[in-house]
Homo-oligomer: A and B are copies of this chain.
């Protein structure tokens, strides 16, 4: 008996004087089994420290209750919250989550293929997109994928993302309403789809207004320090000074703000408006008070999880793409609307 081996249902069955199948039933909710048998089995199981082997169950049921979570953006300001909410929501539905980090599309595919080997029932991909090839493999294996923070329409996979065009329109019109005229656009990753779409929307809205224009566009600026440095560069050239800066990250925006206040003595929001993206906690701090765009992450996570579970439980449902609207948060780095006659407060 002292074998260094975990007890299995066989052992429990022997001790309880029942068949192995009955033990299995005792651990299957809703299985038909007598109270007497269950009692005996529970006692035996407790004595042996028996825990059902879910790996074996998975093999037999051809369902692992494992969900792969591919995380491609750890610097996202809400990364921890997202992870927490995703895992908790999935746990709620009795799934376990395998997380994996991936950067670059090559790696993304590798990770996804590994997930398949682990027989995951479904996958959530955060901030990345699989190649068409691996998408096809998933389709063939009937394993649903949900893209979070990325649009997957073209891949025929479900996705939950934010309406980047909407963000762009919103920013542009808020700035317009506040009488800013010379915009500078600053972003970190020029390849990010959301940045591209948002930029496009801003540009097109601006184009409709002759007195407004885009002064400059700069990519590759990421983080507080980088923002602080960038504003100094920008300010060096008086002829191309903007009167509003739109920044695709709150952190960078806060760096710009700090540069304005501490090094350059630029008056915000009178002389210069700053708009961030993400609404990180620091943006709300009294001494920062950054106007920014808030993204409804919590709802997006719920939707992604629900979409995935639906897809797992009913393989016949078709992929769907959901877009969420962002919200402009007016704080201290943009002027209060000066033209009350329109009644608009956006």
Contact residues of A with B, CB < 8 Å?
4, 6, 49, 51-56, 58-59, 64, 66, 69, 71, 74-76, 79-81, 83-84, 87-88, 91, 96-101, 113-114, 116-119, 137, 140-142, 224, 228, 254, 258, 261-262, 281-282, 285-287
Contact = CB atoms under 8 A, between A and B. Distances in A.
A51 B97 contact: no
Contacts of A81: 74
Contacts of A281: 224
A90 to B, nearest CB: 10
A119 B55 contact: yes
A285 B224 contact: yes
B96 A98 contact: yes
A287 B88 CA distance: 37
A202 to B, nearest CB: 28
Q: Which 3 A-B pairs have the closest CB atoms?
A: A79-B80, A80-B80, A74-B84
B101 A87 contact: yes
Contacts of A228: 286
Contact of A51 (B56, B83, B96, B116): B116
Nearest to A77: B80
26 contacts: A4-B142, A6-B141, A49-B140, A51-B113, A51-B117, A52-B117, A53-B59, A53-B117, A55-B58, A55-B59, A55-B119, A66-B98, A79-B80, A83-B83, A87-B99, A87-B100, A88-B101, A96-B98, A97-B98, A98-B99, A99-B99, A224-B281, A258-B285, A258-B287, A261-B287, A287-B287
Nearest to A280: B282
A55 B113 CA distance: 14
Contacts of A254: 285
Contacts of A285: 224, 254, 258
A83 B58 CA distance: 27
Contacts of A91: 100-101
**Residue among A6, A281, A285 with the most chain B CB within 10 A?**
A285
A55 B101 contact: no
Given A97-B98, A261-B287, A74 B80 contact: yes
Contacts of A66: 98
Contacts of A58: 55
Given A55-B58, A262-B286, A101 B84 contact: yes
A280 to B, nearest CB: 10
Contact of A262 (B49, B75, B137, B287): B287
A141 to B, nearest CB: 6
